[in-house]
Amino acid sequence: MITMYGIPNCDTIKKARRWLEANAINYEFHDYKKSGVPEKDLNQWIKQIGWETLLNRRGTTWRKLDDATKKNINEASAIKVILDNPSIIKRPVLVNGKTILIGFNEAEYKKIFRQLIISPGCVTDQ
């Protein structure tokens, strides 16, 4: 099962969703705003790709954090910040089995999903 985690009104999420839909790839969408970030999933992502990769230090949510939090960020504090402020995660987080993709890069999506893509608009076996 493919799951995309993010916020529906994010432009990058919209691009990724359009790409998946155009290539007839079924996925489940997990909305951070409605459902938060599952701590178990977050811990797995951090274990696999690292908290630094997940943390969006360029966004508004990061800029709103107090200076002491930003200066002293480490794995434990990053987990707390992410759980309290899911918008701080780079988007989308796309999970396909053990593969985790952060952000949207069409070439990476093509590489990961090439076995599912027959041709745009065709239905795939899933």
> Would you name the residues annotated as active-site residues?
10
What is the per-residue DSSP string for the chain? -EEEEE-TT-HHHHHHHHHHHHTT---EEEEHHHH---HHHHHHHHHHH-HHHHB-TTSHHHHHS-HHHHHT--HHHHHHHHHH-GGGB-S-EEEETTEEEES--HHHHHHHHTTT-SSTT-----
